[in-house]
Amino acid sequence: MLDIKFVRENKEIVKENIKKKFQDEKLELVDKVIELDKKSRELKANGDNLRSERKKLSDEIGKLFRESKKEEAELNKQKVTDINNQLVEMEKEEEELNKEIKKIMLTIPNIIDESVPIGKDDTENVEMERFGEPVVPDYEIPYHADILEKFMGVDKEASGRTSGNGFYFLMGDMARLHSAMLSYARDFMINKGFTYCIPPFMIRSDVVSGVMSFKEMENMMYKIEGEDLYLIGTSEHSMIGRFKDQIIKEESLPITLTSYSPCFRKEVGAHGIEERGVYRVHQFEKQEMVVLCRPEESMEWYKKMYEFTVEFFRSLDIPVRTLECCSGDLADLKVKSCDVEAWSPRQQKYFEVGSCSTLGDAQARRLAIRSKNENGTYFVHTLNNTVLATPRALIAFLENNYQSDGSIKIPKALQPYMGGLEVIK
């Protein structure tokens, strides 16, 4: 969420940013919110004047009574009553105006970084760099569901009975491999100096509205019926919400955290849920990294974070590339974002396995997360990045480590988490 003062003073910059994100339907909201803000400030100023007048009249009442000027005192009392009635109406109107202002401000997108490429949607994202040789072996790589079934590692028929489409049972060595990757991701980030955390898997609505846009919330979040609780779509939601309404000591910055959680998503949209595979599902598990830092450090941390993910996947012998998200593909709170994509030798193309984003002070402003230095308080910057989201990353692992004899090679980095196994046969 932008500062309303910034919108007032930089109206054309805000409008140009909306155009860059191809959201022209929101242009009129800028003028509307500025007008509403003007009315709100006028009401506040009038209210302050009335309160000052009320205090002056109230101070005079006692004096008039002491001077036996009862008629004048009663007249002042009536004026005070009239002012009180006016203030009740004005405060009610001001409250309604501020609600409308906040509603609009929550829909106006954050100012994107000047380095973000301009494009309408994810088809116009820009490749940054490739890491590792994208090999296509001279033998067939089966579809990932077939690999899992070959090892008796997945049961979607049973999950259909228990939970419906979009869920799965992972079994045997494949379930073990899934857990091993998560454990390795946890230790990988701890070794980078991040503090490990397991957060709540449900959050309240005021945290949800603080960490994401309404559109994202509608398409992603599952609500707990009869309670003000939502299942998290990623642990970033809880992790950022942890600092709601806090003033963080500046010497504590940056705060670097890595968190494990299950994630729950509706997956509403054109992509839909896979019938056979486990690429797009309602439930998965994830190791995340979250950073809270000084504003001047956020771009440095952004680069570090996605590089950690690249390093992690390369240690598992998975070629990857980084893809810069264009303006039209950025969620409204994001300043800059890139995807890490893994190579699929079966499809002979890359597919998304993680995303790194800096949100500037958007989440911190919504959740009142501040720090303080000699110049006063300021909103911190927040960043998040996927270390590992599986079973999607499991697909990349299986395809890139699938051998000609149908076995699965276990890279050295993962062997300690698989009981020393070098190959799954």
pLDDT digits (tens, 9 = 90+) for 86-118: 899 999 999 999 999 999 999 999 999 999 999
Burial category of 258 from C-beta neighbours within 10 Å (exposed 0-12, middle 13-18, buried 19 and up): buried
Q: How many Å apart are CA 61 and CA 70, to the nearest integer? A: 9
Backbone φ and ψ for 68, nearest 5 degrees, come out as 60, 25
CB atoms within 10 A of CB 330: 21
Identify the helix (H) or strand (E) that includes residue 183: helix 172-190
Question: Which pLDDT value is given to residue 54?
Answer: 87
**What percent of the chain shows pLDDT beyond 70?**
98
Q: How many Å apart are CA 142 and CA 247, to the nearest integer? A: 52
Backbone φ and ψ for 296, nearest 5 degrees, come out as -70, -10
Contact (CB, 8 A) for 74 and 57: no
Residue 133 reports pLDDT greater than 90:
yes
**What percent of the chain shows pLDDT beyond 90?**
82
Residue 323 reports pLDDT greater than 70:
yes
pLDDT digits (tens, 9 = 90+) for 144-189: 999 999 999 999 999 999 999 889 999 999 999 999 999 999 999 9
Written as six digits, the tokens of 222 are 């599952």
Q: Among 59-73, 167-181, 369-383, which is the least confidently predicted range?
A: 59-73
Question: Which pLDDT value is given to residue 277?
Answer: 87
Question: Which pLDDT value is given to residue 272?
Answer: 56
Question: Which pLDDT value is given to residue 273?
Answer: 61
Question: Which pLDDT value is given to residue 220?
Answer: 85
pLDDT digits (tens, 9 = 90+) for 68-86: 788 888 788 888 888 889 8
Q: How many Å apart are CA 197 and CA 180, to the nearest integer? A: 18
Domains of the chain: 4-105 (1.10.287.40), 122-424 (3.30.930.10)
Q: Among 25-39, 63-77, 246-260, 351-365, which is the least confidently predicted range?
A: 63-77
Give me the amino acid identity at 378: Y
Helix (DSSP H) and strand (DSSP E) numbers for the chain: 13, 18
User: pLDDT-based confidence at 62, cuts 50/70/90?
Assistant: confident
Backbone φ and ψ for 354, nearest 5 degrees, come out as -170, 165
pLDDT digits (tens, 9 = 90+) for 278-312: 998 999 999 999 999 999 999 999 999 999 999 99
100 beta partners = none
Q: Comparing 85 with 267, which gets the higher pLDDT? A: 85
Question: Which pLDDT value is given to residue 271?
Answer: 58
Contact (CB, 8 A) for 363 and 333: yes
Average pLDDT, the chain: 93
For the residues of 244-256, what is the DSSP string, one character each?
A: TT-EEEGGGPSEE
Question: Which pLDDT value is given to residue 53?
Answer: 86
Q: How many Å apart are CA 245 and CA 363, to the nearest integer? A: 11
Question: Which pLDDT value is given to residue 276?
Answer: 78
The three-point CA angle 130-304-246 to 5° equals 145
For the residues of 223-235, what is the DSSP string, one character each?
A: EPTTSS-EE-SST
Q: How many Å apart are CA 419 and CA 350, to the nearest integer? A: 30
Q: How many Å apart are CA 78 and CA 72, to the nearest integer? A: 10
Question: Which pLDDT value is given to residue 269?
Answer: 55
Tell me the mean pLDDT in the region 375-387: 96
Contact (CB, 8 A) for 262 and 288: no
Give how far Cα 159 sits from Cα of 14, 154, 155, 271, 278, Å: 47, 10, 7, 21, 12
Tell me the mean pLDDT in the region 1-21: 95
Tell me the mean pLDDT in the region 242-252: 96
Q: How many Å apart are CA 234 and CA 215, to the nearest integer? A: 16
User: pLDDT-based confidence at 382, cuts 50/70/90?
Assistant: very high
Contact (CB, 8 A) for 269 and 298: no
Tell me the mean pLDDT in the region 125-129: 97
Question: Which pLDDT value is given to residue 74?
Answer: 78
H-type alpha helices, 21-134:
27-66, 70-105
pLDDT digits (tens, 9 = 90+) for 196-246: 999 999 999 999 999 987 677 777 899 999 999 999 999 999 999 999 999
Query: What SS3 state is found at 358?
Result: strand
Q: How many Å apart are CA 339 and CA 359, to the nearest integer? A: 15
Identify the helix (H) or strand (E) that includes residue 365: helix 362-367
Residue whose structure tokens are 């155009």 = 19
